[in-house]
Structure 1
Amino acid sequence: MPYSMRKLIVVFVLTIIIVLSSFGYWQYGNQAVNPQDKNNKIFVIEKGASIREIGNKLRKEGLLRDPVVFFLYIKLYGQDRKIQAGDYRLSPSMSLKEIVDALNHGTLDRWVTFPEGIRAHEIADLLKENIPSYRESWRERLNENEGYLFPDTYLVPKDADVEMVIAMMKNNFDKKINMVGSELNDPQLQKRVLIIASLIEREAITDEEKPIISGIIDKRLKMGMALQVDATIQYAKGYNNLTKKWWSPILPSDYNGVDSSYNTYLNPGLPPGPISNPGLEAIRAALNPASTPYLYYLHDSAGKIHLAKTMEEHNANIKKYLK
Structure 2
Amino acid sequence: MIRKKFLIFSILFVVLILAPIVLNQYYNYLLKSRSTQESFQIFIIKPGQPIAQIAKNLEKAGLVKNALAFRLLVAQMGIAKNIQYGDFRLSPNKTSREIAQELTHGAIDVWVTLPEGMRVEQQADLIESKLKVSSNDKYQFDKKEYIKLAQEGYMFPDTYLIAKDAAAKDIVERLRQTFDEKVAKNLLVTSSGLSEDEIVILASLIEKEAKSDEERSTIAGILLNRVDVGMALEVDATVSYAKGYDSANNTWWIRSAASPAQTDYFYYLHDSKGQIHYAKTVEEHNKNIQDFL
TM-score (structure 1 length as normaliser): 0.76
CA RMSD, 1 decimal: 2.8
Matching residue of 1:263: none
Output one character per residue of 1:244-287: Cα deviation in whole Å (capped at 9) or x when no partner: xx75xxxxxxxxxxxxxxxxxxxxxxxxxxx5232122122223
- Tell me, yes or no, if the aligned pair for 1:31 and 1:95 is still in contact at 8 Å: yes
- Tell me, yes or no, if the aligned pair for 2:204 and 2:241 is still in contact at 8 Å: no
State the 1:4 CA deviation.
4.7
Q: Which residue, 191, 197, 218 being the options, matches 2:197?
A: 191
Q: Does 1:70 align with 2:70?
A: yes
CA distance in 1, matches of 2:227, 2:19: 79
Counterpart amino acid of residue 278 in structure 2: A
Q: Does 1:134 align with 2:141?
A: yes
Question: Which runs of structure 2 are paired with 1:124-273 in the superposition (5 Å)?
Answer: 124-132=124-132, 133-135=140-142, 136-142=144-150, 145-178=151-184, 181=187, 183=189, 189-236=195-242, 238=243
Distance 1:209 1:7, change over 3 A: farther
- Tell me, yes or no, if the aligned pair for 2:179 and 2:249 is still in contact at 8 Å: no
Matching residue of 2:118: 118
Output one character per residue of 1:81-120: Cα deviation in whole Å (capped at 9) or x when no partner: 1112112222222111111111112532222222212222
CA distance in 1, matches of 2:283, 2:72: 69
CA distance in 2, matches of 1:305, 1:224: 27
Unaligned runs of 5+ in 1: 239-245, 248-274
- Tell me, yes or no, if the aligned pair for 2:41 and 2:91 is still in contact at 8 Å: yes
Matching residue of 1:243: none
Counterpart amino acid of residue 306 in structure 1: I
State the 1:224 CA deviation.
4.8
Counterpart amino acid of residue 48 in structure 1: G
- Tell me, yes or no, if the aligned pair for 1:151 and 1:277 is still in contact at 8 Å: no
Matching residue of 1:107: 107
Counterpart amino acid of residue 28 in structure 2: Q
- Tell me, yes or no, if the aligned pair for 2:188 and 2:258 is still in contact at 8 Å: no
Matching residue of 1:315: 286
Matching residue of 1:87: 87
Percent identity at matched positions? 37
Output one character per residue of 1:22-55: Cα deviation in whole Å (capped at 9) or x when no partner: 2133112211121331x33222110110101111
Matching residue of 1:32: 33
Matching residue of 1:48: 48
SS for the counterpart of 2:89 is strand
With 22-31 and 42-51 compared, the bigger mean Cα shift is at 22-31
Q: How many residue pairs align between the two structures?
A: 281
State the 1:180 CA deviation.
6.4
CA distance in 2, matches of 1:180, 1:46: 32
Matching residue of 1:253: none
Distance 1:24 1:312, change over 3 A: farther
CA distance in 2, matches of 1:208, 1:79: 48
State the 1:79 CA deviation.
1.4
- Tell me, yes or no, if the aligned pair for 1:294 and 1:307 is still in contact at 8 Å: no
CA distance in 2, matches of 1:129, 1:317: 45
CA distance in 1, matches of 2:247, 2:162: 21
Output one character per residue of 1:275-317: Cα deviation in whole Å (capped at 9) or x when no partner: 5232122122223334555432334566x14222132343344
State the 1:75 CA deviation.
1.9
Counterpart amino acid of residue 286 in structure 1: A
Matching residue of 2:276: 306
CA distance in 2, matches of 1:232, 1:156: 32
With 214-223 and 80-89 compared, the bigger mean Cα shift is at 214-223
Distance 1:5 1:300, change over 3 A: farther
TM-score (structure 2 length as normaliser): 0.83
Unaligned runs of 5+ in 2: 133-139
CA distance in 1, matches of 2:47, 2:215: 30
Distance 1:146 1:17, change over 3 A: same
With 224-233 and 94-103 compared, the bigger mean Cα shift is at 224-233
SS for the counterpart of 1:160 is coil
Counterpart amino acid of residue 129 in structure 2: E
- Tell me, yes or no, if the aligned pair for 2:112 and 2:160 is still in contact at 8 Å: yes
Distance 1:106 1:211, change over 3 A: farther
